Homo-oligomer: A and B are copies of this chain.
Amino acid sequence: MDLFFLFDYIGTFVFAISGTLTAADKRLDFFGATFIGFVTAIGGGTLRDMMMGDLPVSWMRNMNYFWLIIAGVVVTIVFGKFVMRLKRTMFLFDTIGIAFFTVLGLKKALLMDIEPPMAVMMGLSSAVVGGIIRDTLCNELPLIFHREIYATACIAGSLIYLSLNYLNVTEIVCEIVTILSIITIRLVVVKFDIALPLLEIKK
């Protein structure tokens, strides 16, 4: 579980940076930027916990999340220019964060006896809802709805986890394979510029 916490923390930190960068782009003030950093980092987990009834929500019970987000926001503000140049590195971290958040949400839901398809949705919610709230608050159509196979990678990873689990593969192996799958799918997708087809309904 320790390794898990470590990566949950990395995810939180990286999502805080991603939120703050988006806010900077929208010319928000420092408060606005910090606020967006926070909701990007904790939004997904908050909705997940509120829907499952694990209250108070998890980030309220562990101060580490709080300090990591503050750190992410400060780093972005202080080293903004440098962070922007690291976009490729950021993208990798972001992908790692998503992968771990997916597995965390999935496992948490399964531990609470939520049915597997719902648990997949809880994993997805952990990973993507923060970004959706970020974009909605910044008054933009959420990126995830019209670009990149991002959610699809999370869902594919969750299905891999469930399959391995069903085959009685050791927990830690399930987790590692799932995480590597999500990361690989996302990297391949972006490298080859694969996108889900747009939904068109002719009238």
CA distance A80 to B151 in the complex (A): 23
Given that A35-B145, A63-B115, A66-B118 are contacting pairs, would A198 and B51 also be in contact in the complex, using a CB cutoff of 8 Å? no
Oligomer: number of copies? 3
Q: Is the interface of A mostly helix, strand, loop or mixed?
A: helix
Q: Does A114 contact B (CB under 8 A)?
A: yes
Instruction: Give the Cβ gap from A60 to chain B, nearest Cβ, in Å.
Output: 5
Q: Does A188 contact B (CB under 8 A)?
A: no
Determine whether the beta carbon of B114 is less than 8 Å from that of A31: no
Taken residue by residue from 177 to 203, chain A's Cβ proximity to chain B (1 for < 8 Å, 0 otherwise) reads as: 000000000000000000111111111
Determine whether the beta carbon of B51 is less than 8 Å from that of A53: no
What 9 A-B pairs come out closest when comparing CB atoms?
A53-B55, A32-B145, A80-B201, A29-B196, A24-B201, A33-B199, A28-B145, A24-B199, A31-B151
A→B interface (CB under 8 Å)? 20-21, 23-33, 35-36, 38, 46, 50-53, 55-57, 59-60, 63, 66, 76-77, 80-81, 83-84, 112, 114-115, 117-118, 121, 132, 136-142, 144-147, 149-152, 195-203
